[in-house]
Amino acid sequence: SCKQTETGSVLNRLREIVGASTNWSDHQQAMAERGSLSSMLAKSQGDLPPKGMKDSYLEVHLPLGSEPQLREKYLTFHNTVRFGRILEDLDSLAVLISYSHTFNTALKRSPLSIVTALVDKIDMRHHVIYPDCDVKFTGHVTWVGKTSIEAKMHMSQYRDGAYAPVLDATFVMVARDPENKRAAFVNPLRPDGPEEEKLFQEGEANKLRRVELSTASLLKVAPTDEERKIVHSLFLNTLDTKTVSFRSRVLPPNSVWMEDAKLKGLEICHPQERNIFNRIFGGFLMRKAYELGWANACAFGGCRPRLVAVDDILFQKPVEIGSLLLLSSQVCYTEGNYIQVRVHSEVFDPLTRQHKTTNVFHYTFVSDRDVPNIIPKTYGESMLYLDGKRHFNQTVGH
């Protein structure tokens, strides 16, 4: 029973599931009423029936080829497809897949608030997305924890009479209570057959890898021996041989200081960008961060870079409507013609003057020519450099 739909109807289906309205004032009222759904939440995971991977399988079409009027929203100035828009579609699809997994036929509405916790990985299989060919997204749940769901999605495009792969994406979603205040249980997943078993084991391995990475984070643990040597040799390369002092630093040839490879942006979070829970839609944040990161890589490499991978987008806090969203991107590592960019997003409340980090994004771009080396000056920048190198190695697989 393959559930097919078009991208436009995905949001409408999500609104039905949570009882949200498209109109801002009605919407606030509908959200206030959601609190009453709390009594429908399961007390434990054992109270929920297990589901199979097929239960959440979805196929969504984006008819860029057959419906030219759709294209405008998806096009860049160079007549290529805006990858930021694809990120928005993947985010909505991951939410709908998660709702399909937790669907309860007896209830008209879902008491769960499902939000994006993490974009584990997006791997590009094909660098070009054509603006005039139909797109197909497919996906389903591949692993669940007690309150979290991993959804894997594939995007393909119709070329020369067949669908060819464009990208693979893995998102981790978390279920919360109706008011999005605390975690809520999700249905267990029962893999069926060796292929599904393998996907489930991969999901388990992904979870362990994330735990390992966060415990080995450079914010908590000193760099490895090898990494310390890298930092020291970067430092030695910038010493001025004439003065032989720790203070005076010289930029090596074909290099750029890290502090000169930044780009900042600001977004005012209007109601239009809200998700069905009155927070700012994760896909919108991903699109804005991607566009800023791309612009930074473009300015740094002096050409139009192509995306290789998106890695580890962590959503730490929801972004409220009315917030000022400050985005800052930094080229933090380069190798050959690759550019690793980190985008940090924080919310600034102008009244309390408080800053809170909401997300960190990691992007790997490739340029059509070699790019300058990036050189850290301070210890903090050296840690960003090593963190960028770790992400790069994980993505490009050294």
Q: Report, as an integer, the average pLDDT of 271-291.
A: 72
Confidence of residue 1 (pLDDT cuts 50, 70, 90): very low
Domain boundary among 215, 245, 274: 215
Mean pLDDT, rounded, of the chain: 85
Q: Are residues 288 and 191 in the same domain?
A: no
Amino acid identity, position 189: L
Q: Are residues 135 and 236 in the same domain?
A: no
Domain boundary among 149, 184, 215: 215
Q: Report, as an integer, the average pLDDT of 298-320.
A: 80
Q: Which residues contact 373 (CB under 8 A, 6 or more apart)?
A: 252, 254, 255, 256, 334
Q: Are 303 and 268 in contact (CB under 8 A)?
A: no
Q: Are residues 69 and 93 in the same domain?
A: yes
Question: First vs last Cα of the chain: how many Å apart?
Answer: 41
| Token code pair at residue 158 | 């119709």
Domain with 283 in it: what CATH number?
Answer: 3.10.129.10
Amino acid identity, position 322: G
Q: Are residues 360 and 236 in the same domain?
A: yes
Phi, psi of 168 (to 5 degrees): -120, 140
Q: Which residues contact 387 (CB under 8 A, 6 or more apart)?
A: 218, 332, 342
pLDDT tens digits, residue range 93-135? 999 999 999 988 888 778 888 888 888 888 888 888 999 999 9
Q: Are 348 and 354 in contact (CB under 8 A)?
A: yes
Strands 338-349, 148-159: pairing is unpaired
Q: Are residues 208 and 323 in the same domain?
A: no
3-state secondary structure (DSSP) of residue 307: strand
Task: State the DSSP H helix or E strand holding residue 141, giving kind and residue range, or none if neither.
Answer: strand 135-144
Query: Structure pTM?
Result: 0.80
Domain boundary among 215, 247, 273: 215
User: Mind giving me the DSSP string for 147-174?
Assistant: SEEEEEEEEEEEETTEEEEEEEEEEEEE
Q: Are residues 141 and 243 in the same domain?
A: no
Percent helix, strand and coil across the chain, each to the nearest 5: 35, 30, 30
pLDDT tens digits, residue range 28-82? 666 667 767 777 888 889 999 999 999 999 999 999 998 888 888 888 877 888 8
Q: Are residues 87 and 159 in the same domain?
A: yes
Evaluate if residue 258 carries a pLDDT over 80.
Answer: yes
Confidence of residue 6 (pLDDT cuts 50, 70, 90): confident
Q: At what angle do helices 7-18 and 83-101 cross, to 10 degrees?
A: 40
Q: Are 143 and 204 in contact (CB under 8 A)?
A: yes
CB neighbourhood size of 7 (10 A): 21
Tell which residue, 13, 179, 1, 5, has the closest CA to residue 96: 13
What is the sign, positive or negative, of the torsion defined by CA atoms of 272, 274, 280, 284? negative
Number of domains in the chain: 2
3-state secondary structure 378-392: CHHHHHHHHHHHHHH
pLDDT tens digits, residue range 190-218? 999 999 999 999 999 988 887 777 666 77
Q: Are residues 243 and 387 in the same domain?
A: yes
Q: Are residues 253 and 121 in the same domain?
A: no
Structural domain including 23 reads 5-215
pLDDT tens digits, residue range 143-190? 999 999 999 999 999 999 999 999 999 999 988 887 777 889 999 999
Task: State the DSSP H helix or E strand holding residue 202, giving kind and residue range, or none if neither.
Answer: helix 193-215
Q: Are residues 36 and 177 in the same domain?
A: yes
Q: Are residues 90 and 196 in the same domain?
A: yes
